[in-house]
Amino acid sequence: MMAMTPNDEVNSLAVRECRTIFERAHLYQLSFNTENQHYRRGLTTNLMGRELFAKGLTFTQIQEMHERGARFKTTTLSDEFTFDDYLDRYRDGLTLMCVLTGDDSLTINTVDDPLIPTPGQTIIALVASPSSADDQTPKADA
């Protein structure tokens, strides 16, 4: 379950309510907005979902990136086009969201366990448009 609304409190409540349905390892939420950081400190980690995608990435940031032209892109890696090649190509603005493995299972990128995609996997990422390359967007951890 991925809690990805613009409301941090709703996301936390959704995670809390879904604890009996999903294992903790499968409960995710976006980072808290900066103005809500004090609220997050009041929560114990077992009441929060795993932090999605990149440290500090909020709903508002994703929305603003999209408004500036960022688009979701899928790319299948190979021995000829590796994850390092992908990072070089999109170094000016990419947020790795998840990967599809060879058996079509989805693995989600999290702050606590960043993905390192391998050949044969398909990357799903939010990629900045060339015109927004100078914007401050979270980068994939490699």
Q: 142: which 2 tokens?
A: 């490699």
- For the CA atoms of 67, 8, 111, 109, what is the dihedral angle to 10 degrees? -60
Local confidence pLDDT in tens for the 142 residues of the chain: 888 888 888 888 888 888 888 887 788 888 776 554 555 444 444 457 878 888 878 888 888 888 888 999 999 999 999 999 988 888 878 889 999 987 888 899 988 889 999 999 999 999 987 654 444 444 444 4
Residue owning tokens 């990136």: 65
Please list the residues that pair with 29 across neighbouring strands. Answer: 3, 51
C-alpha span between 33 and 6 (Å, rounded): 9
**pTM summary value:** 0.71
